Amino acid sequence: MQNAKNIQIPPSADERTFLIPNQTKGFVIPQRYIVGIMGFLAVVNAYTMRICLSIAILDIVEEEDHKWDRETQGLVKSAFYFGYVITHLPGGILAERFGGKYTLGIGILSTAFFTLLTPVVVEWGDWPGLLVLRILQGLGEGTTYPALNSLLSKWVPIHERAKMGTLVYAGGQIGTVVGNTASGFLIKAAGTWTSVFYMFGGIGVLWFVLWTLLCYSEPSSHPFISDDEKNFLRKELGSNEQKSNVPTPWKAILTSVPLWSLVAAQIGHDWGFFTMVTDLPNFMSDVLHLQLDQNGIWSSVPYIVMWIVSMSSGWLCDWLIQKDFMKVTFARKFFTAIAAIGPGIFIVVAAYAGNDQTTVIALFTVGMGFMGTFYCGMKVNALDLSPNYAGTLMAIVNGIGAITGIITPYLSGAMTPNHDVEEWRIVFWVSFVVFTLTTFIYVMWGSAEEQWWNTPEKGNPNAAEKDPKAMVESGNASTTK
């Protein structure tokens, strides 16, 4: 396309996408979208295997041999995150060194294996055995997000980042919905809680087989990708190619203010999200007195809305950035703030709505809907800061955030010994405070500027230190992007 002065205007990112013919050999869908879809299914599987215990445990503790008190239940649910936190950083480093394909695949496969073992372990080891098994499950699943972030940095152009990142990471909502809903139905239909672990563990194994056959760590190693798509991705992401002999700039990463602001935002989100994922079924049982199958359905409704909002906000965010209505940094902060303050307000209000099932569920649903904007906000922010070290950054951010998964189930159990609504109000007020404080930190000091240490061989920190202006331009986050 040309303007009146015959000056060539390059096509937009969307136009470039559609101008590419023959996107992939033997496939109708471009390979980067296949990676995105399979990544989405990876997160769905990860969440179904992670959270199905939240419904199944309500049935387990009804058995005479497993009369676990509320604190014990919280400890068992928390145990997953002890392992989950440990493998984040190794997972990110392995994905960057050897590719995300098998780092992700083996992690999901091992989680599926331990999920299949759950009924046997509960039968023979009671809650201590299940606690150990949940730690092992967490070790397997801890590589998921770092490996996915590393994969996305190799496959997703910047103008598709919010859409594709949202698609992949919003699999958590679908996994939560499927895990909660299907668990209740399976237990009722089969007459035993063991069915959920056999079902979701088996699906995890099937996903691994498909993933191994269809997906690859980067475009250059993919046998089915067309030359057109490969060249397109090389052109779009070429500036983020990393030299293999460059050591990881750990000092620069660990002293980055935008990174630690991102960690704060992740802590806030995870605190609220894990409180809902692990404890909403308990609240539904304690306050609304829902039966097991109803509990699974209504516990899932907020996550359906959250998924719809997350997908639409991902497209909206990219559109606002492409049209220059928002700079990238402002967009990340804006959508992150909505995803924190909205849920914080509505879950507190829900705690004061009495035992009116319709009103309470509606309030939780609206609150979780707001949380959907988190994915196009801070969840893809690590890709902005450093595509080359996206796996490592995700490991740090998500790993530290996941510590809240250890704290919140146990804390909620300890704070609700009598199972009454007054105790639950305190739980939700704590979440509101955490949401607010962490969002303030991110809005003040977060950034979407690519940091100089993404390509340390190009931006010498010693030279920057001698030139204060260069240091500001290359190292510090700009609030104008």
pLDDT digits (tens, 9 = 90+) for 310-356: 989 988 998 999 899 999 999 999 999 999 999 999 999 998 987 78
pLDDT (tens digit per residue) in 275-292: 887 777 778 878 887 776
Of 11-25, 237-251, 329-343, the least confident: 11-25
Higher pLDDT, 110 or 293: 110
**pLDDT of 243 higher than 60:** no
pLDDT given for residue 459 in this prediction: 61
- Alpha carbons 78 and 248: distance in angstroms, whole number: 32
Higher pLDDT, 417 or 349: 349
Dihedral in degrees, nearest 10, Cα atoms 447, 448, 453, 456: -150
Confidence of residue 242 (pLDDT cuts 50, 70, 90): low
**Averaged pLDDT, 221-234:** 86
**pLDDT of 182 higher than 70:** yes
pLDDT given for residue 161 in this prediction: 81
Of 43-57, 210-224, 291-305, 351-365, the least confident: 291-305
**pLDDT of 195 higher than 60:** yes
Confidence of residue 240 (pLDDT cuts 50, 70, 90): low
**Averaged pLDDT, 232-240:** 75
pLDDT given for residue 201 in this prediction: 97
Angle between helices 292-322 and 257-286 (to 10 degrees): 150
- Give residues with Cβ within 8 angstroms of 332, minimum separation 6: 377, 378, 380, 381, 384, 446, 448
- Alpha carbons 404 and 400: distance in angstroms, whole number: 8
CATH of 28-222+248-448, one of 2.60.120.10, 1.20.1250.20, 1.10.260.40, 1.10.1040.10: 1.20.1250.20
The single-letter code of the amino acid at 128 is P
Confidence of residue 22 (pLDDT cuts 50, 70, 90): very low
Instruction: Kindly tell me the burial class for residue 440, based on how many C-beta atoms sit within 10 Å of its own C-beta (0-12, 13-18, 19 or more).
Output: middle
**Averaged pLDDT, 50-56:** 90
Q: Is the dihedral of CA 287, 288, 293, 295 positive or negative?
A: negative
Measured in residues, the chain has a length of: 481
Given a contact cutoff of 8 angstroms between Cβ atoms, the answer to whether 296 and 185 are in contact is: yes
pLDDT given for residue 434 in this prediction: 96
Dihedral in degrees, nearest 10, Cα atoms 198, 201, 203, 207: -160
**pLDDT of 4 higher than 60:** no
Given a contact cutoff of 8 angstroms between Cβ atoms, the answer to whether 136 and 82 are in contact is: no
pLDDT given for residue 7 in this prediction: 40
**pLDDT of 462 higher than 60:** no
The residues spanned by each domain of the chain are: 28-222+248-448
- Give residues with Cβ within 8 angstroms of 438, minimum separation 6: 264, 265, 267, 268, 269, 271, 340
- Alpha carbons 404 and 113: distance in angstroms, whole number: 25
pLDDT given for residue 282 in this prediction: 78
**pLDDT of 6 higher than 50:** no
Mean pLDDT of the chain: 85
- Alpha carbons 339 and 337: distance in angstroms, whole number: 5
**pLDDT of 131 higher than 50:** yes
Confidence of residue 74 (pLDDT cuts 50, 70, 90): confident
pLDDT given for residue 299 in this prediction: 73
Residue whose entry in the numeric block shows the structure tokens 């295997």: 49
Q: State both tokens at 115.
A: 């999920």
Q: Which of 44, 51, 300 is nearest to 170 (CA)?
A: 44
Of 100-109, 409-418, 428-437, the least confident: 409-418
HEC-encoded secondary structure of the chain: CECCCCCECCCCHHHHHHHCCCCECCCCCCHHHHHHHHHHHHHHHHHHHHHHHHHHHHHHCCCHHHCCCHHHHHHHHHHHHHHHHHCHHHHHHHHHHHCHHHHHHHHHHHHHHHHHHHHHHHHHHHHHHHHHHHHHHHHHHCCHHHHHHHHHHHHCCHHHHHHHHHHHHCHHHHHHHHHHHHHHHHHHHHCCCHHHHHHHHHHHHHHHHHHHHHCCCCHHHCCCECHHHHHHHHHHHHHHCCCCCCCCCHHHHHCCHHHHHHHHHHHHHHHHHHHHHHHHHHHHHHCCCCCHHHHHHHHHHHHHHHHHHHHHHHHHHHHHHHCCCCCHHHHHHHHHHHHHHHHHHHHHHHHCCCCCHHHHHHHHHHHHHHHHHHHHHHHCHHHHHCCCCHHHHHHHHHHHHHHHHHHHHHHHHHHCCCCCHHHHHHHHHHHHHHHHHHHHHHHHHCCCCCCHHHCCCCCCHHHHHHCHHHHHHHCCCCCCC
pLDDT given for residue 440 in this prediction: 97
Q: Is the dihedral of CA 20, 26, 29, 31 positive or negative?
A: negative
**Averaged pLDDT, 293-311:** 81
pLDDT given for residue 159 in this prediction: 80
Which neighbouring-strand residues pair with 68?
A: none
Confidence of residue 60 (pLDDT cuts 50, 70, 90): very high
Q: How far is CA 474 from CA 152, 279, 304, in A?
A: 24, 44, 41
**Averaged pLDDT, 354-368:** 87
Q: Which of 252, 305, 267 is nearest to 398 (CA)?
A: 267
- For the chain, give the longest Cα–Cα distance: 83
Higher pLDDT, 4 or 167: 167
**pLDDT of 113 higher than 50:** yes
**Residue 433 phi, psi (nearest 5):** -65, -45
Q: Which of 354, 424, 384 is nearest to 159 (CA)?
A: 384
